[in-house]
Structure formats: structure tokens, C-alpha cells
Amino acid sequence: MIQPHFIYATKNEMQSALTIKDQVSARMDNLSPKLRQAAHYVADHPEEVATRSLRYLAGITEMSPPTFSRLATTLGYKNYEALREDCREQISRQRLIFGEKARVLQESDSTEPAQGLFALRQAAAAIDNIKLLSQSIDPEKIEAVANQIVSARKVVLVGMMSSRPFVDYMGYMASMAFDNWQIFGAGVESVSSTLAGLDKSDLAIVISKAPFATRSIEIAKEISNRGARVIGITDKISSPLCIHCDTSFFVSTDSPQFFSSHVATLVLIESLMGTVVARSGEEVGRRIAAVETMSHRMGEYFENSL
């Protein structure tokens, strides 16, 4: 039987994660209906509070900014910014570094054999991540982004550290179908010349997940400043990538091992690439066939591989 995947956290981290909710719960009975509504939102969405502007929260909740300011002072904060800072600290405390996760993994392997074969737990986590993706993905959003990619003059793929293999894979697939895609930093062009060549007719796909590569975030910012459309693939609403993106896709990376799982990311980029090719017309189909034929002629495929 496949065992459910596990999310590990120390006792102190679990207690810290309840800080905002504890403060809200302690004062809930004394809040007006409007403040109670705002309090529920803050307790349930600390990442939004930490990373989004007050105007954004007011718009998405259909409550006025002063409502959140009054809530902050009612909860004992000096002002709304103090509440935001507490949310930021809470999110920071919840993060487990790789080394700590590895230690927990080693301890659980020797003390909790009932969790079952690790391979089954890892598989269950990956399946859950894919299920979350399939449940949350908006088909219209995928189609809209695919159309934007098809109409872009140039498509640039950005990914550093653990995200780099995914842009390499996406770039390889794209090279069979298109001649206007490039992997940022893979050619002879300098960073500056690549950025200088982008404008509002171009599009970038940036992949960055926790812990976020500084270089990816900085490049996304510069591309956005150039007027190009930025599509982000990340794992958290609080991701520093989101603020620079026109559209963001979120993938779950939960894993019982020390490193994040990227299986859902793979499914997303394959789905996106398939949708782009499907919407690109007969010319792309002919190019793929021509590239495949040339690969056979050049001996790039093992003779009996098909």
C-alpha cells in the first residue's frame, strides 16, 4: 500500500506557524463582523499579507484598506506594516533548510519504519503534486499563455541552479519546432546584449523555486523593465519572482526527501509546450519532421532505436 507523503517540521516551527492564527483566535470574539472577515483572511493567507500591497488585498477581499489597518491595531500591532513584517517573519520561520530536512529524513528512516519503503513515499508525494497541479490549473490560462508564446517575436527561457535542467529540456524541445527560442546565457551573447535585444514583442519564461536563485529574479526584473512579457513558474505565492511576472503558474514541490520535488514542474512545461505546438500551425509540424529526418541522416539516433 502506498503511504502518504510527509511534510516535516520541528516543534518550534509548528508553534511559530500558529502565531498569527493564535492572535486572531484570541481576539476573534471582540471583533466586529467586518474586522472578523479581515482577520480570517489574514490568518489563512499570511503569504499574501507578507508579499502583496494593501491596495491589492483590499481589492481581492472587497474590503477597504482602513479595515486592515484597524485590524492590525486591534491585534496589538503598531500599524499595518508591523503586521506585514510579522507575517514575513512567520513565513521565514516555517522554511526548512536542506540540511535540516536531511537530518529529519535520516532520523525518520531509523525510527519510523512504519512509514514504508521510501520509494513509495516519494512516488506518493510526486503523484500528489501532480494531482494538485491538475486540480488547480486553469485551462483558459494555459491556452492564453500558449497564444502569447506563439505570437511572441522571441521567447527566452530563464532558469538557474536546480531549475536550469528544465529550461534546457524545454529549450531542446523548442529547438525542434521553433527558431525563435533561446536559453538565457547559453549562447555567445552577453547578459547585457540579450537583455538589450528584448522589447514588448518578446516573452520570457522564468522558472524559480525556493530557495530562489537571485540571478533568476534579477533577470526577470530586467526583462520586465524592458517591456517584455514574463511568465513565471514557481512554488509559492510569496515567491519574489511573482512581482515581476505578468502571469504565474504555481507547482507543488512537496517531498519526503531533503530536496524539493520537480515532477509537477516537468508535467507543466510538457503540457505548455504541447499546447504551444498544437496552436502553431502546419509549418511547425513540417519543421519537426524535417529536424527528425536530419537527425537520422546525421546519425544522431542509434540505428535501431525506433
**36: Cβ–Cβ under 8 A, 6 or more apart, which residues?**
28
pLDDT band with cut points at 50, 70 and 90 for residue 10: very low
Q: What is the mean pLDDT of the chain?
A: 81
Please report the pLDDT score of residue 19 as a whole number. Answer: 59
pLDDT tens figures, 106-121: 665 554 444 557 778 7
- The structural domains of the chain, with segments of one domain joined by +, span 11-94, 133-297
Q: Which residue has the cell 508525494?
A: 125
* Winning range, highest mean pLDDT, from 3-17, 43-57, 61-75, 234-248: 61-75
Domain pair 11-94 / 133-297, same fold: no
CATH class held by domain 11-94: mainly alpha
pLDDT one-digit tens code per residue, 169-192: 999 999 888 989 999 987 767 788
Q: Looking at the predicted structure, is the pLDDT value of residue 147 above 50?
A: yes
- Domain 133-297 top-level CATH class: alpha beta
> Greater confidence, 22 or 39?
39
Q: Which residue has the higher pLDDT, 49 or 4?
A: 49
Q: Of the ranges 67-71, 203-207, 245-249, 255-259, which one carries the lowest mean pLDDT score? A: 255-259
pTM for the model: 0.64
Closest alpha carbon to 289 in 180, 178, 176, 181: 176
What is the rounded distance in angstroms from the CA atom of residue 106 to the CA atom of residue 110? Answer: 7
The pLDDT of 218-244, averaged and rounded, is 90
Q: What is the pLDDT of residues 42-100, one digit of tens each?
A: 887 777 787 778 888 888 889 999 999 999 999 888 899 888 888 877 766 555 555 66
Strand order through the sheet with 229-234: 181-183, 155-159, 203-207, 229-234, 247-250
- Which residues lie below 8 Å from residue 122, measured CB to CB, with a gap of 6+? 5, 255, 256, 257, 261
Q: How many residues does the chain have?
A: 306
